[in-house]
Chains A and B, each alone.
Chain A
Amino acid sequence: MSKTKNFAVVLSAVVLVCCGALILGQKVNAAGEGKITGTVKLDGTAPHMKGIDMGKDPFCSKAHATDPGKMETYVVGSGGGLENVVLYITEGLTGPAASQTATTEPVFDQKNCMYTPHVLALDVDQKFKVTTSDQTTHNIHPLPNPMTGNIPWNQSQPPGAAPVEKSWKAPEVIPVQCNIHPWMHGWFVVVKGPYATSDSNGAYTINNVPPGSYTVTAWHEAAGTQTQKVTVAAGGSGSANFTFKAK
Chain B
Amino acid sequence: MAKIFAVVIILIAIASAVPIVMHWWPMPQDISVHGTLIDEQYADTMLEAGISFLASQFLLAFFIWKFSAPKPGERVKNFPGGAAGLVAAAFLLVGTEVLALGVFGTKAWASVYLTPPAANAMPVQVQAGQFAFYFRYPGPDGKFGPLHADQISEANANFFGLDTTHDQDSKDDIVAAELAIPVNREIHLLMHSKDVGHSFYVPELRIQQDFVPGLDVTVHFTATKIGKYEIVCTQLCGLGHYNMKAYLEVKSQEDYDAWIKQQAALQ
Contact = CB atoms under 8 A, between A and B. Distances in A.
A55 B247 contact: yes
Nearest to B129: A182
B266 interface: yes
Contacts of B243: 57, 136-137, 180
Contacts of A183: 154, 157
Contact of B266 (A51, A139, A180): A51
B131 A55 contact: no
Contacts of A57: 243
Contacts, number: 60
Interface residues of A, number: 23
A52 B157 contact: yes
A13 to B, nearest CB: 51
A56 B240 CA distance: 13
A73 interface: yes
A244 to B, nearest CB: 17
Contact of B177 (A54, A73, A154, A156): A54
Interface string A147-183: 0000000101000000000000000000101011111
Interface in B143-176: 154-157, 159, 176
Nearest to B238: A179
Given A71-B157, A183-B154, A55 B238 contact: no
A181 B129 CA distance: 11
B54 interface: no
A114 to B, nearest CB: 13
A51 B176 CA distance: 11
Nearest to A71: B157
Given A177-B154, A179-B130, A179-B131, A53 B177 contact: yes
Given A55-B177, A56-B245, A185 B240 contact: no
Interface string B23-56: 0000000000000000000000000000000000
B132 A139 contact: no
A73 to B, nearest CB: 7
Interface string A175-198: 101011111010000000000000
B221 interface: no
B10 interface: no
Interface in B90-138: 129-133
B239 interface: yes
A55 B178 contact: yes
B177 A180 contact: no
B64 interface: no
A50 interface: yes
Given A175-B155, A180-B131, A182-B132, A154 B176 contact: no
B246 A55 contact: yes
A14 B130 CA distance: 57
A139 B239 CA distance: 8
Contact of A56 (B156, B178, B267): B178
Contact of A182 (B154, B238, B239, B266): B154
A179 B246 contact: no
A73 B176 contact: no
A185 B155 contact: yes
Nearest to A49: B157
Interface in A134-152: 136-137, 139
Contacts of B157: 50, 52, 71, 183
A179 B198 CA distance: 14
A56 B177 contact: yes
B159 A182 contact: yes
A57 B176 CA distance: 13
Contacts of B156: 50, 71, 73
B232 to A, nearest CB: 11
A35 B130 CA distance: 44
Contacts of B129: 182
Contacts of A52: 157
Contact of A180 (B155, B178, B240, B247): B240
Contact of B132 (A56, A71, A136, A175): A56
Contacts of B154: 177, 182-183, 185
Interface in A72-126: 73
Given A50-B267, A179-B240, A182-B129, 10 more contacts: A53-B176, A56-B178, A71-B157, A137-B243, A175-B155, A179-B131, A179-B239, A180-B132, A180-B240, A181-B132
13 contacts: A50-B267, A53-B178, A54-B177, A55-B176, A55-B246, A56-B133, A56-B177, A139-B239, A180-B131, A180-B243, A182-B129, A183-B154, A185-B154
